[in-house]
Structure 1
Amino acid sequence: MELAVVNIQGEDTGRRVVLPDTIFGIEPNDHAIYLDVKQIMANRRQGTHDTRERSDVSGSTRKIKRQKGTGTARAGDIKNPLFRGGGRVFGPHPRDYSFKLNKKVKRLARKSALTYKAKDNEILVVEDFKLDAPKTKDYLKILDQLKVKDGKSLLIVTDSDQNLYLSVRNLPNARVMRAASLNTYDILNGGTLIFTESAVKATEEIF
């Protein structure tokens, strides 16, 4: 797949970039995408949830009424889960939700996600650029000139740029990420992918 390289004004520079079919044109594997996204979301969970069961609730262990002859159901102590203020039955406790996934499966999932983006024409290639100062207004102007201001966008660069990061971080529908940090979830959730020229080469080297 061949794409034109544009500048930050949205004008064609006359250069072309070939996106290799081994990364952007494979047969997508939906199950690999499912597994990778599931792992990413599971690894982000804190797992700090906790509840108090009847052994954790404060209260007397005295039997609150006699076993028989009351005409109502038998009951033990006041910490019974059926009573208000009692312990919870089988409530959640702190746990680790993360699980492992083979590197080849994760690589296949990322390639599949990039292939879907290429098929949907949601990839742009822009020449490398720098911002002189951290200004959100300047980055919004770039998005407007690239005609992606109204939707979600993910700018993929080679190296970290503090000015660029600070300019983007307050925008709800725009993000910036290094090519080395790309993952399946962010690719699928990023809207239009805006690769810099150097980021395309970096992505080829990573895969």
Structure 2
Amino acid sequence: MEVNVYNIKGEDTGRKIALNESIFGIEPNDHAIYLDVKQYMANKRQGTHKSKERSEMSGSTRKLGRQKGGGGARRGDVNSPVLVGGARVFGPKPRDYSFKLNKKVKALARKSALSYKAKGNAIVVIEDFNYEAPKTKDFVAMTKNLKVNDKKLLVVLSESNKNVYLSARNLQKAHVQTVSGLNTYRVLDAGVLVLTESALSAIDNVLSKKEA
């Protein structure tokens, strides 16, 4: 599959670039995508939830009523879970929600997500670019020139670029990502992928190594 290469002015450079079929043309694996997105969301959870159990409550340990004959459930001190304001039984405790996922599964998930975007004609390839200084209006002008300003964008760069990142930081529908940090969730969440030529080459290098 070949796509046209544009510049930041939205002009067709007259060049075409081929998308690697082993990355952008595979049959998507929905289960791999599910697992990778599940892991991404799980890793974002803080897991700091906590409620007090009976041994952690402060209060008198005096038994409030006699064991039998009261006509209700037996109960102990004021911290009893059966009382309003008492402790909680088997409440949440701080925990780590992250889990392991094989590298090949994660690579398959990313390829599947990229293949979905390629099938949906939601990939735009542009020449490498840079800004002399961070300017949001320059970034907005580029999205308008490429006719993608009304969509949720994921701009993928081969390496970190502070000026480009700062130019897009205030835009709600735009996100700048390097190839090293590219993940399945970000790809699927974007309406359009804007890839620089060097980023496309970097994706080929990274994901092609994980085929074996």
1: distance between equivalents of 2:73 and 2:56? 24
SS at match of 1:185: helix
Structure 1 residue matching 2:54: 3-state secondary structure: coil
Residue in structure 2 matched with residue 120 of structure 1 by the alignment: 120
2:150 counterpart residue number: 150
- Residue 181 (structure 1) aligned with residue 200 (structure 2): no
Deviation of the 1:54 alpha carbon: 1.4
Q: Which amino acid aligns with 2:155?
A: L
> What do residues 55-107 of structure 1 show as CA deviations (whole Å, max 9, x unaligned)?
11111111111223333332211111222221112111011111111111111
Is there any run of 5+ residues in structure 1 with no aligned partner, and where? none
Structure 1 equivalent of residue 94 of structure 2: 94
Amino acid at match of 1:203: I
Match of 1:37 in 2: 37
Which residue in the other structure is 2:165 paired with?
165
Aligned to 1:85: 85
- Answering whether residue 206 of structure 2 is matched by residue 206 of structure 1, we say yes
Q: Please tell me the residue identity of whatever aligns with 2:175.
A: R
Confirm or deny: 8 A CA contact 2:75 2:82 kept in the other structure: no
Identity of aligned residues (%): 61
Distance 2:37 2:151 in 1: 22
The one-letter amino acid of 1:188's match is: L
AA in 1 matched with 2:76: G
Task: Give the Cα separation in 2 of the matches to 1:156 and 1:75.
Answer: 62
Q: Deviations over 1:106-127 (max 9, x none)?
A: 1111000000000011100011
Aligned to 2:210: none
What corresponds to 2:19 in structure 1?
19
CA distance in 1, matches of 2:93, 2:145: 50
> 2:8 maps to which residue?
8
Q: Secondary structure at the match of 1:55?
A: helix
Q: Distance in 2 between matches of 1:73 and 1:102?
A: 51
CA distance in 1, matches of 2:181, 2:188: 14
Residues in 1 aligned to 2:74 and 2:26: alpha-carbon distance in whole angstroms: 66
Query: How many residues are matched?
Result: 207
In 2, the alpha carbon distance for the partners of 1:98 and 1:107 equals 18
Farther off after superposition, 78-87 or 27-36: 78-87
For 1:171 and 1:54, how far apart are their aligned partners in 2? 49
Q: Which runs of 5+ in 2 are unaligned?
A: 208-212
**Contact residue 109 and residue 184 of structure 2 kept, 8 A:** yes
Q: Could you tell me how far 1:167 is from its partner in structure 2?
A: 1.0
TM-score (norm 1): 0.96
Deviations 1:10-37 (A, max 9, x none): 1111010100100000111111111111
1:188 is displaced (CA, Å) by 0.6
